[in-house]
Every structure is written in C-alpha cells, then in structure tokens.
Amino acid sequence: MCTSLIQKYNVPGPRYTSYPTVPYWENTFSAAQYLETVKHSFTESPEGISIYIHLPFCESMCTFCGCNKRITKNHAVEDPYIRAVLTEWKMYCRLFETKPIIRELHLGGGTPTFFSAKNLEDLINGIFSYAKKSASCEMSFEGHPNNTTQLHLKKLYDLGFTRVSFGVQDYSAKVQRAIHRIQPFENVQQVTVWAREMGYTSIGHDLVFGLPFQQNEDITDTIQKTLSLMPDRISFYSYAHVPWIKGNGQRGFADADIPKDDAKRKLYETGRSIFEKNGYKEVGMDHFALTGDTLLTSSETGRLHRNFMGYTATKTQLMIGLGVSAIGDSWYGFGQNVKNLEDYYQMLEWDQFPIAKGHILTTEDLKVRTHILNLMCRFETCWEDDAFYFNEVPDILIALREMISDGLIEVTAGGLRITEKGKPFVRNVCMAFDLRLRRSNQDTMLFSMTV
C-alpha cells in the first residue's frame, strides 16, 4: 500500500452503517412519523423482519469501546431490563395487523453474556411469544470470552442461535492493559471449542487493528493464535479513536500511543495477507470468511447487506431496534431510542415509544443510500437507470477525479467500480456520494479516520 495514498486519503469519515449518517439526521423528525414508516415497511415485508436487541451492561469498561453501555457488577439489573425490552416489543407488535415473522435476530451490547442464561432464555421466549420464526431465521449473539459459560452457549443454541461472535481484540498483554481488556487465549479457546462441539455453524472472532501500543508482531501473534482455532469468520475492525464522544471511555493512553497512517495500515495489510494465505476471503470492509460461511456466500451472490448491525447475510427491509440507544431502520426512516437507561424505563412506563431522534429519508436520500450500500457491499454502483440517477452525479465524478487518476476507481458505462487498489478507501468513495456531508459546513471532528 502506497504511503502517499494513505496520507492523501486518511481523513475523518463515516463508516456508513446508514445513510444519512446520524450527525446529519434532520431535527424536524417526530416519532409518530417514524412509526408510520415502520407500519408501511412491515406491510411491504411479507418475507419477515430483523430485530436487534441492545443489552448495555458490562462489568468493566473497555477503553477501546465506543458503544453505549452501563458499567455495573449488580446483576439485579437484568430482570427489569428484560421486562422493559419485552414491553417495548409488545408496543411494536400492536402496530402490526399480523404476527411478525422474524428472519434475523441479534443480541449486541454492551455484553449480552452479562445476563444469565435463564434471563436470556426468558427474553427470547418473550420475543417469540408475539412473533413467528422464519424457517431460515438466523439468530446470533456477541459473547465475551471471559464470562460466556457452557450453559449460555447450550441454552442459546437450543433456542435456535447458530452464530456467535467472540470479542478478542488483541492477545498482547501490553495492549490488553491499555484497553482494559485482560483476556487470556485459553478463555477464547474454551468458548470456541464449546460452541463448535455444540453445533454452532458460524463462529466469529472480532479483532481490532490500530489499538494503542499495537505493533506488527502483536497482530501477527494474535492472528496466528486465532488461526489455531479457525473461526468461520473474522471481523478485523479498524480502531475508531473518537475520545471527544461523551461516555465512550477512550482514556488511559495518549494519542501518541496509537498507530496512525501507514503504520496503522501496515497492521491491516499484514493481517489480510495472513488471512488470505490461510483460506479466508475478504468480504466487504474489514471482514473475512471461510468458504461455506453465509457472509461469504451472500457476498459472492450479491446479497450482502449492511445496516446498524454491520454486514449481514440476511437482508430485510425492516429492522426493529429494541433496548436503550438501539436504532431501528424501516428503509424509509431511522429511529433511535433514548441513550439514558432511566429515561428508557420512564417512557415505557408512560406507554410511549422510547424514541429520542431519527430521520425520515427523502427521495434523494433513498437514491444516495442505494449507491452507498452498493459501494460498501459490492464495491460498485450504477445510475444508468433513471430511478437511481440524481443531478449531482456529474459533480460526484468531478470530486472523484483524483481517485480515478490514482487508479482507485474505474468509471463504467453509467456507473463506477472500485478497483482492488481502491478497496481500502471505500469510505472515501462513499463520502463523495454523501450529499449531506458535502453540503454541510461542519468544522468539528465527528468521525474516526478512514484508514
């Protein structure tokens, strides 16, 4: 990877789990508007819906994490939270004229395995008491290797979960101390073996490059240990350094301790090279999978999708977010719940949807969203069809002239394609299509660096 290209294109930019991105949602939004789009989208989705459930509790703070979480060792918080989530779910079910069919369900956090196996069972049974399960339903959860028990894995597997991702990050002792995530390889090995023996069909390990004090030898050692367990898929995320965002806990190390620019990209290139030599294929941005994994299959067949859960093999038009800070997506609109736990409880007690903000997409937004999804999932897009053309396309091509000249993009008849050389800069290409970003005069830093 050319150092000059990294320096040239390494700028703050969104990760595009949505368009418009959250900072550019309009202030005129109302929860009632969003709920109307949810009902409309439900009627257009006979194939089923997705559900994301945010479980925010963690016993300790990981200082690399930018997620919404509540740090506590008090497990008495589990039961009232599950009751609140099920109350919210029942409110959504009242919107629908028929029983929802669930095609995808994901538990994220926070730390989902903070909750006892019994409480997670009650949560899932409660969800399906008001819904049907699609025959092809994919159910997944994020497991913390330090507290995921054999009982967690067995109980969730019996409920229909077939995919689990374990947060590994890095095995270096120095890095682990810096990010406050002390996690021995033996713990990861144990939960991976248990999951495989039980029959989980997709086991993932989440690694992060660009962490404080991380060196090339750390990445190599971490990946070699990971390969000894051969997970079905590997997420190789770029550390998003956003210490200005309130509550994310990115403290305890200095900016100078974080690999940047070409040093950071070298970590990724080292990892990618090792993955590919060991049978993993790159999927979208920052993901790798073995042949047979549904994420790779969906990529090869053009069905890969991206939303607030990241990349997913299951594409549904409607995704409902449950829990504090969770974001729902009706395709026509986004709605995010309140971020404060006490506010979440209070609004549910008042029989109000706990939605704090959101955005209703315009016709232009929907076109741009389609192009950005195409780029993030397939590295190409096309506007030959009038339904996907908009007046700013010529301006976008002008904005991309440098990337075209640098061999990162090829212009096709009525569209463009990102080259192999250009794939590390997919976020930069999407930024050229991001009309709301281009029109803004935002002078504060909102996003992590693109490389």
SS (H, E, C) 50-67: EEEEEECEECCCCCCCCC
Quickly state the pLDDT bin for 75 (edges 50, 70, 90). very high
pLDDT tens-digit series, residues 420-430: 999 989 999 99
Residue 138, pLDDT above cutoff 90:
yes
- pLDDT value of residue 5: 79
Quickly state the pLDDT bin for 3 (edges 50, 70, 90). low
Task: Spell out the SS3 assignment of 93-138.
Answer: HHHCCCCCEEEEEEEEECCHHHCCHHHHHHHHHHHHCCCEEEEEEE
- pLDDT value of residue 8: 82
pLDDT tens-digit series, residues 27-58: 788 999 999 999 999 999 988 999 999 999 99
- pLDDT value of residue 243: 63
Alpha helices in 301-416 (DSSP H): 341-349, 363-378, 393-399, 401-405
**For the chain, how are helix, strand and coil distributed in percent, rounded to 5?**
40, 20, 40
What is the C-alpha separation between 50 and 317, in angstroms, rounded? 8
Place of tokens 């939303």: 307
Per-residue CA distances from 10 to 113, 270, 393, 408, 442 (Å)? 36, 18, 24, 14, 18
Residue 266, pLDDT above cutoff 70:
yes
Residue 443, pLDDT above cutoff 80:
no
For the entire predicted model, the pTM comes to 0.93
What value does the mean pLDDT take over residues 347-356?
Answer: 98
Residue 263, pLDDT above cutoff 60:
yes
- pLDDT value of residue 149: 97
**Residue, of 247 and 276, whose pLDDT is higher:** 276
Q: What is the dihedral of CA 65, 67, 72, 77, to 10 degrees?
A: -160
Quickly state the pLDDT bin for 10 (edges 50, 70, 90). confident
pLDDT tens-digit series, residues 61-72: 888 877 889 999
Least confident of 54-68, 236-250, 269-283, 377-391: 236-250
Average pLDDT of the chain, as a whole number: 92
Quickly state the pLDDT bin for 251 (edges 50, 70, 90). low
pLDDT tens-digit series, residues 154-208: 999 999 999 999 999 999 999 999 999 999 999 999 999 999 999 999 999 999 9
